[in-house]
Structure formats: structure tokens, C-alpha cells
Amino acid sequence: MFNVIEVDRLTHYYGPRQSLDGLTFEVRQGEVFGLLGPNGAGKTTTIRLLNGLFTPTSGTIRVLGLDPARQGEQVRARTGVLTETPALYERLTARQNLMFFATLSGVPARERAERVNWLLEQFDLTARADDLAGAFSKGMKQRLALARAMLHRPELLFLDEPTAGLDPEASAQVRDWIAEVTRQEGMTVVLCTHILSEAERLCDRVAIMAPRRLLAVGSLDELAQRLLPGQRLQVELYEPCSIDFPRLRALPGVLGVETGANPAGPARELVVQIKDASIVPDVASALMQMGARLLRLQPEHVSLEDVYFKLQQSAEEVRA
């Protein structure tokens, strides 16, 4: 598996204002890579730089082995971009929009109509193919914009906030389409989003950004291990019980214990930070020896949201 994108110490200024500061990351072939961060973090600027719309102030970028600043035309012939707004020609029909972009994207003339029809069908737009795009709902516009981004079978697809502003049903549909069509076409995907549940569901690896800079890169498991080591075990007792916390903390593999507001008094719920799931039976056994009657023992899943906020909080502390 080779790197489709390689970014090294990328810095960019809009006039006197710095927009990116020393970004370094790579995207591997065939993965769905998430670029996460708050509004204004520099996600869209990064996409523009990766497609040669802007030139880096310093640092290097390789996209599909090419330098986008000097070989932008060749890069864009092999990438597809779903922009933050659908950016459709609303006075043209869905088919006219796609045929126009197929011509500009270099789809051979003899294949254009067939490719457009296939994409209209894939995105469930065939029945409305000859209606003006301006008459479409938000969800339909987003599907049409997605179809446009995929017209020339790009090897690398950039999706900038693909479900922004859509209702939950339309968002789910768009997510399903992304998963299905990218799988069928074997594309590498870079997904920019601030919807963390979406990134968690779709991405193999993520890069988390704070304004202008990168905080961390990796898979959710890697980031969770690095930032929130161990696992959280939620414990609920049938009735309040006095727990011997020092003894519990002394168990091999237990990293810490969180209690309620009154640690000295009897507890009914507690969270035990453990190295991994193999410690769970030892914790259960120790609690029972202390006279606790167990109602529930549940290892807690570390979500991308936990990792994300941990990173943003650390970044905030460093800034402060």
C-alpha cells in the first residue's frame, strides 16, 4: 500500500494571515481518511492546496506522486472534489450539469452519456435527470454534486462536509452512497467533516486539526491508546456498598478508579480505568470480596469524540 498523499511541513499564508502551520501527514491508497477540526481550522484550505488551487508558502506536497502547485492540471484530472456547497448550475438540468463537467474533466465523448446515466442511476436521480437543478431538494443537490465529483472515476476523492445542512435521513443516505460508490470504484477518500460520528463510522484513519495546525494523526484505536490509555469499565452495584479503593487501585492492570461526589461514603456507581478487558474478571472478583453485589459491569467504548475533545482541550491548555 503506497501513500496517495504526502504532506510535509506545509505552511500557507493568505496575504499576511497564516492559514496553515507546518502540517505533516500522509494518506494511504484505498483508505477513507478523515480531516477533522472546528470551522476555520484550515480543512478547506488544505483541500485547495492538495488540488493546486493555492501554492504552499513553504513545505512540500505530493498527490498521486505529483506536485499540485506545478502539475495542478494533472492532479485535478485524477482527483474529484465535493465542495462545501453543492455549487451546481441551478439554471441547468441535472444531466446538463453532469455532461458539462464530464467534458471539462476529460471523460471521452463516446463514454460521457453512458457514464452520466450510470451515475444518475447510482444516486437515484434518473427520474429527475432533465429537471433544473435549482428545483432540487438539498439532499438531491448534494447527491448530484457527489455524482459530479465522481464523473471521471477519480483515484482520490475529496469530500468537504458532505452531509452539512442535510436532515438525518438525507445524511444517512449520503453516507451510504459514499460508502457504496467509493467501494465499487475503489477510490481513496479524504473526508473533511466536523460531524465526529460520521468520521468514526466512515474513516480508517483521521487527522485532527486545531486552527492552522495538526494535533494528531492515526486510526481511532491508535489515537485512543495514545491519548486515553487503557479502557474504562463502568460498574453499577445493586445497592450502595463501602469500597476499599486503595485495594482496588492496587490490583495489577488497574490504572485508576473514579468515584462519585462522596468517595468516603458507600458507592453505587464507579468507573475503573483498566489496562485491557482481561482485567475485568479480577475487578469483579475483588468487588465481590468487598461485599459488593454486582448489577452491571460494562467496558466503555472510547469514541472519536472522546479523543477529539481530549486533543482540543490539550491544545487549548497549551494556547492558554
d(Cα 280, Cα 309) in Å, to the nearest integer?
27
The arrangement of strands across the sheet holding 156-160 comes to 79-82, 156-160, 188-193, 32-36, 205-210, 213-218
* Burial class, 162, CB count within 10 angstroms (exposed 0-12 / middle 13-18 / buried 19+): buried
Which residue in 81, 202, 248, 270 binds other proteins (CB under 8 A)? 81
Least distance from other proteins to the Cβ atom of residue 150, Å:
13
18 near other proteins (CB under 8 A) = no
Pick between residue 100 and residue 245 the one whose CB is nearest to other proteins.
100
86-98 burial, b at 16+ Cβ within 10 Å, e below that, comes to bebeeeebbbbbb
d(Cα 105, Cα 173) in Å, to the nearest integer?
26
Pick between residue 77 and residue 129 the one whose CB is nearest to other proteins.
77
Please choose, out of 31-39, 78-86, 117-125, 309-317, the segment that lies near other proteins by the rule CB under 8 A: 78-86
Question: What mask, x for binding other proteins by CB under 8 A, covers residues 128 to 167?
Answer: ----x------------x--x-------------------
Pick between residue 86 and residue 230 the one whose CB is nearest to other proteins.
86
309 near other proteins (CB under 8 A) = no
C-alpha cell at 140: 438531491
105 near other proteins (CB under 8 A) = yes
Residue count, binding to other proteins (CB under 8 A):
35
96 near other proteins (CB under 8 A) = yes
C-alpha cell at 58: 513553504
d(Cα 256, Cα 270) in Å, to the nearest integer?
11
Are 278 and 253 in contact by the 8 Å Cβ rule? The answer is yes
> Which positions lie near other proteins, rule CB under 8 A?
14-15, 48, 51-55, 72-74, 76-77, 79-81, 83, 85, 87-92, 96, 100-101, 103-106, 109, 132, 145, 148
